[in-house]
Amino acid sequence: MSLDPDLTSIQEARDLLKAARAAWETWRNASQAEVNRVCAAMAEAGYQASERLGRLAQEETGYGVAAHKKLKNEFASRVVWESIREEKTVGVIHHDPQRRLYEIAWSVGVVTALVPSTNPTSTTLFKALIAVKARNAVVFSPHPSARRCSYEAAQTMAQAAEAAGAPKGLISCMQQVSLPGTNELMTNRLTSIILATGGTAMVRAAHSTGKPAYGVGPGNVPVYVDRSADIEKAARYIVASKAFDHSTICATEQAVIADRPIAAQLKSLMQAQGAYFTTPQETAALRRTLFHPDRSMNVGVVGMSAEYVAAVAGFSVPAGTRVLVAALSKVGSEEPLSHEKLTTVLAWYEADGWEQGCDTSIAIIAAGGMGHTQIIHANDEKVIMAFGLEKPVFRILVNTMGTLGAIGLTTGVMPSLTLGPGGLGGAITGDNITARHLLNIKRLAYETTPPPPAAFSPGEASAVPTPAQVEQVVRQVMNEILSSNHPKN
């Protein structure tokens, strides 16, 4: 008898959650030394497996560049661990003597972690590390097209954790992946919180379960290049960042906004770095190729090289082309290419001064990246601060790559592969998600101020109801009961 795959997936989700809950019951009592020992072992195992897992991810999904995925895996293990290693996640984590207040860490429970196909192994390594650091268990639901590599990443972390003393079942990953199975994982009573990284539909589903959820929105990231910028550096960074892993990180540059006085120079320098500027006919072909009539993106070109995308669109580009750049004049629903493109295609706009560059940036963000990320290349601090104050995003990156800056590899923001877009983007935080977001904090608070005298006043006694008033209330309640039992036809 063949088993229904959806029922099998649901049962697997329940089994993994049950094992995770049992493991958490033990792990939540771990000491800080035990937590750090286990996490250090996990980080090292993930780092050592980075190349193998990067190759598996590229082979299974067809997306991106294996060497770039290796770098992301190294970041998700060693760099993330370095950022949280000294963080207290057990017992008293803060004491304020003046306020006579103690803050005590408390684990959340079982984390359900959704994994995207664009960054499957790095996201798995990262989420496993921050969950376990906060003394939680974690169960992964991978994207069906990245099932094998995500499972391998989870197993790498699970085996290292168990060898270092963690209970079996603390880290696990579904293999029988289906939509009903993932839904069971998210809605089951044993799940405490959801970490949702992936497409808009999946993130919305996570937010609609009734469970606490950290979700990310789409990143439609504009990069403004001001006349005060180091133009050569900007050109080099933009092309390299957009080409990195074939644009599968949500914080990758999506549109260049060039200050008009330096636009020609920037274009020439980007061409020297491997950017190909398309003709109007080729731009029209890209619109048809990248997006379906309903404006959803064609997954057949996600995470593909510029040469591949051009070939699918029906035109050829010089060997060594790294990104395709399409000059546009409109933003929003009338221009599909002004939206997020998880592939090697950049939009190009020109602006007369930083004020117009600011307006164009906001329009692009409003078209699909509210709350996410803005990049600016400039040396004029007034312009930089104006962008920082005015943009409706929670990461404003200055003179760096979008891909590596937003995740915290080349900037001082918290290293993370889950980037919150805040309330603007439909999420509960604009932070880079890390271990502290998977902790609950108890407060042990001593009295610091005596109660005021009025607190001890007996107050006025409530009036005693009369028999008639009591009878009226009883009659009203009985009428409501009878009415609910005998609905009208």
Neighbours of 9 (CB within 10 A): 23
The one-character DSSP state at 390 is: H
Cβ proximity of 57 and 149 under 8 Å = yes
- 395: phi then psi, degrees, rounded to nearest 5: -135, 115
Nearest to 354 by CA among 332, 330, 378: 378
CA distance 362 to 340: 14
Cβ proximity of 42 and 166 under 8 Å = no
CA distance 479 to 474: 9
Q: How many residues does the chain have?
A: 489
CA distance 222 to 396: 10
Helix axes 5-27 and 179-187, enclosed angle (nearest 10): 30
Angle made by CA atoms 97, 100, 102, in degrees to the nearest 5: 90
Q: Kindly state the tokens that stand for 35.
A: 């937590």
Distance linking the first and last C-alpha atoms of the chain: 48
Point out the catalytic residue in the list 39, 173, 250, 358. Answer: 250
Q: Does residue 103 sit in helix, strand or coil?
A: strand
Those residues whose C-beta lies under 8 Å from the C-beta of residue 8, and which sit 6 or more positions away, are: 176, 181
250 belongs to the catalytic site: yes
**Active site amino acids:** 250
